[in-house]
Chains A and B, each alone.
Chain A
Amino acid sequence: MSDVAIESHLKKAYEHGWQTDIEQDVFPPGLDEEVIAALSGRKGEPEWLLAWRLKAYRHWLGMAEPTWAKPHHPPIDYQAISYYAAPKSKDADGPKSLDDVDPKLLETYEKLGIPLHERAALAGVAVDAVFDSVSVATTFRKQLAEVGVIFMSFSEAVREHPELVRKHLGSVVPAFDNYYAALNSAVFSDGSFVYVPKGVRCPMELSTYFRINSMNTGQFERTLIVVEDGAYVSYLEGCTAPMRDENQLHAAVVELVAEGNGEIKYSTVQNWYPGDEQGKGGIYNFVTKRGICKGRGSKISWTQVETGSAITWKYPSVILKGDDSVGEFYSVAVTNNRQMADTGTKMIHLGRNTRSTIVAKGISAGRSDSAYRGLVRINPKAEGARNHTQCDSLLLGDTCGAHTFPYIEVKNPTATVEHEATTSKVSDEQIFYLRQRGLSEEDAVNLVVNGFCKDVFKQLPMEFAVEAQKLLAVSLEGSVG
């Protein structure tokens, strides 16, 4: 593998690095109770929610940033971040229809490949577009409402369905869960809310597209998805940000609740700006994602393709409370240049005959470092629980690293827990072989990498599997020579 090819890769451009020039309502940097009250006021929130935020904030003040993760970063100055940024044209209640949305915003999403006009939108996919701190549009709402599915921005849900939000908010990720979850609980801006009533199979894919645009702004979104008995939803989130020299913080919280025989399929294609080749800039992606399989036979499946961010630190988890419930985690994490990723999952088995599957694929190139960190816990009452974990690492070049940290706690003797791990390299022989059959070097590398990720990609909805493959190709351009 030639150094020249690796070099050429390091100069690859981040495709979504541009910014939208739009007048914005931005809070000055800084965080205190007044800022939180102002944020809550701007959104017209009820008193209970402000009280909830302030309680989280006061608790957060007494917490320390975690230091156990493998990635290290310079201390974050939380007073230097702005906690609210919204396009100015948007009034407090939000645009009534797409006609009220600033054309510049529509253009922004168009450029990102997410047309918001329903006639141009991806067939069968409803989109909630979040721009900095606010949701700017949600498509196909009428069609969804006809079958009883609620899909709207979190802020709207607080106004329109306060009883549902209040019941479930913080029920899976408590406000004091961890440092970043507490911060999010205090200052969360917007995000998506999904509710699928009993027995309804959501007729289309739901998708939220997060875009950070403003400088020095943190994005703290909050997503809550609830499916009732026997209901089903497939949800996808995508994310991008402009290229900036400063690191930007993204600290989201996602909560999933599945009642009896309900199923949630949650897919992420994360493509935040990863920083330049020297490791300057990029998003810090410190996210808490957790679901609870509350009812019997419920199922939660996380699929993630992580290609962006300077530092990724996330562990989408499932609490398997209902008997016979199923948790799945399928992950591809790609790191390149100076990126660092510490990601994995937690499967907490509480109910009887609960099952979990973990398939984690790490691909490292450049001088990057990636770690799989996972916990499988079988509690004493989880009779007959089963877990299978497969962790595979693929190295491109010899200046990158891959690590696996599995934690297994079994407190019931009837449980079956399996863990397999492999590390491999894209070999010169493979590349020679594929090129001898006529493939270019890039195509050869992509073929090997895509083959490596096959088990995960096949879990993604069709359109996104194609996008994920392309994204992978861009992320690893020229990384093997």
Chain B
Amino acid sequence: MLEIRNLHAKVGDTPVLKGLDLSVASGSVHAIMGPNGAGKSTLAKVLAGSEDYEVTEGSVTFDGHDLLAMDIEDRANAGLFLGFQYPVEVPGVTNAYFLKLALNAKRKAAGLDEIAPGAFLKLLKDKMDHLEMDPAFRNRFVNVGFSGGEKKRNEILQLLVLDPKLAVLDETDSGLDIDALRVVAKGVNSLRDAGHAIVVITHYQRLLDYIVPDQVHVLVDGRIVRSGDKDLALQLEDEGYAAVRAAT
């Protein structure tokens, strides 16, 4: 589903990604771990099309399309979802209205009619129930006055409503207490099937107890330096990145 080859990207004059390769098949869950400043968030934002970064070399194909040639919204509507590390506030715009707008943008791109209001409300209710969210969040302004944990849960609500092919979740676990972590993981795991792929970016092994990855990759200094199964995450937790880096 996603093929990243020799990806180089810089912010300003500073190179951040320095020849990154990654292959994500449909139906799989990947975890990307690595120390601060390794380029984890950069990878997520480059995939989503952030204009803060310049891709200088390499290629990314998503479902057979040249992802790097696509606009931000076209990538989204083709089925790429980025769960933000720092979700953004949109004052005066309710969660429900925003989600409906986003869902209809996606449906329009797919040549579908707008969703019927009743069907949308039902979909929203189902997903909010699944995430154990207070119905009041429907009419609250997007992320305004939300706690860190509420914002992350709201990201997962968007994920479930938009139902993308590929979800890239950037440190979705940060700021979550253990109960919230369990709920968020439940939401993410509900997408685990042959039609979806998930990439979780995290500092900590903890999240991976709940979202068990098929593959774990270690990102250091702009490149993937090691890949393995879920045990690699445990090893990282025990030995730290320095040891893993030294071993490469």
Contacts and interface: CB of A to CB of B under 8 A. Distances in A.
Contacts of B76: 435-438
A441 interface: yes
Contact of A443 (B82, B84, B101): B101
B38 interface: no
A433 B87 contact: yes
Contacts of A440: 73, 105
Contacts of A430: 88-90
A447 B90 contact: yes
B18 interface: no
A450 interface: yes
B205 interface: no
Contacts of B71: 435
A149 to B, nearest CB: 35
Contacts of A438: 73, 76-77, 102, 105-106, 109, 162
A215 interface: no
Interface in B31-62: 48-52
A439 interface: yes
A433 B93 CA distance: 14
A100 to B, nearest CB: 45
Interface stretch (A90-98, A182-190, A451-459): A451-459
A441 B50 CA distance: 13
A432 interface: yes
A455 B92 contact: yes
Nearest to A1: B51
Interface residues of B, number: 30
A453 B50 contact: no
A37 interface: no
Contacts of A21: none
A430 B89 CA distance: 7
B109 A429 contact: no
Contact of A450 (B75, B93, B162): B93
A417 interface: no
A451 B158 CA distance: 19
A410 interface: no
Contacts of A428: 51-52
A448 interface: yes
B93 A435 contact: no
Between B92, B105, B158, the greatest number of chain A beta carbons within 10 A of the residue's beta carbon is seen for: B92
Contact of B88 (A433, A439, A443): A433
B90 to A, nearest CB: 6
B72 interface: yes
Given A433-B84, A438-B77, A441-B73, A448 B90 contact: yes
Nearest to A361: B92
B105 to A, nearest CB: 4
Given A437-B102, A437-B162, A440-B105, A432 B50 contact: yes
A430 to B, nearest CB: 5
A437 B162 CA distance: 8
Interface in B92-136: 92-93, 98, 101-102, 105-106, 109
A437 B74 CA distance: 10
Contacts of B48: 432, 436
Interface in B59-86: 71-73, 75-77, 81-82, 84
A80 B109 CA distance: 55
B241 to A, nearest CB: 29
Interface of A: 427-430, 432-441, 443, 447-448, 450-455
Closest 6 CB pairs of A and B: A451-B92, A454-B92, A438-B105, A451-B93, A433-B88, A435-B72
Given A435-B49, A438-B77, A439-B73, 15 more contacts: A429-B88, A430-B88, A430-B89, A432-B51, A433-B90, A434-B90, A437-B98, A439-B101, A439-B102, A440-B73, A447-B101, A450-B92, A451-B93, A453-B92, A454-B93
19 contacts: A428-B52, A432-B48, A432-B88, A433-B88, A433-B90, A435-B49, A435-B71, A436-B48, A436-B76, A436-B81, A438-B76, A438-B106, A438-B109, A439-B73, A441-B73, A451-B90, A451-B91, A452-B92, A454-B93
